[in-house]
Amino acid sequence: MHRDTIFQTVAEQEFDLEYSHLRSLDCTEQENPHGRHLTPQKTYSMRDVARLALQVNGPTGENLLLRKQRADAKLQRSDTKQRIAAEQKAAAAALTPTSLSEKLCKKAEVAPWSKLTKQDTLTKFDLEYSELEALKVAFEAKPNPRSPRFKPMRLCKAGDVASALAGKQQRAQELQQQRKNARAAQMAASRRAARAAAAAIEGAAEQQA
């Protein structure tokens, strides 16, 4: 979005306007980036929206103060979220797959080189059968010690299971971090929109003076 234009939804939020107010303004439409089947996005002139906000929302001083307070509040929330995200990212970086797999083995009370049956693996690592299958851990067949006529035993290394679980958990942490970063970026964009709205209101007020 160009700095002199503003999307319909942002205009409604940052200038306290309804869509019925915006209908009187000229707009341009463009394809919605979230999908062609969605309603096209409408953009308006920032200057036109600011002037309209002055007419609709009353005194300039109160209008401008409201937006500055909103921008400051968003800035504080954004800074807090970024600080928390940075702390969590540092903690996640310190928790490497190797150290995490060792912790998982310790929690399961098994040595990484231990050979486990499938049932023991499910019990020790507190897994469901479908979860174990999803890890795609390699099992080796061994003759059944009770009798050669019985079905061979399938064994896997506890360390392989722990490593697969550690990788899965780290990928989940990375995905969570990506989502947090996206939310932080969205907050920053919203903060910039609030500041731009305040500046536009102030500029429109100066022109009217």
Q: What is the pLDDT of residues 30-55, one digit of tens each?
A: 887 777 788 888 888 888 888 888 78
Q: Which two tokens stand for residue 95?
A: 């928790």
Query: Which of the two residues, 121 and 90, has the higher pLDDT score?
Result: 121
Helix axes 97-108, 158-208, angle to 10 degrees: 130
Is this prediction's pTM over 0.85? no
DSSP-based three-state secondary structure for 35: coil
Spell out the alpha helix ranges (H) of the chain.
Answer: 8-14, 19-22, 46-57, 60-94, 97-108, 118-124, 129-135, 158-208
Q: Report the alpha-carbon distance of residue 143 to residue 151 in Å, rounded.
A: 8
Percent of the chain predicted with pLDDT > 70: 80
Q: What is the pLDDT of residues 144-181, one digit of tens each?
A: 777 778 888 888 888 889 888 888 888 888 888 888 88
Q: Confirm if 152 and 144 have CB atoms less than 8 A apart.
A: yes
109 φ/ψ sector (left φ>0, alpha ψ -120 to 50, else beta): left
Long-range contacts of 188-191 (CB under 8 A, 24+ apart): 188/78, 190/74, 191/71, 191/74, 191/75, 191/78
Judge whether residue 83 has pLDDT over 70.
yes
Q: How far apart are CA 44 and CA 76, in angstroms?
A: 28
Instruction: List pLDDT tens digits, range 1-10.
Output: 455 888 888 8
pLDDT over 90 percentage in the chain: 0
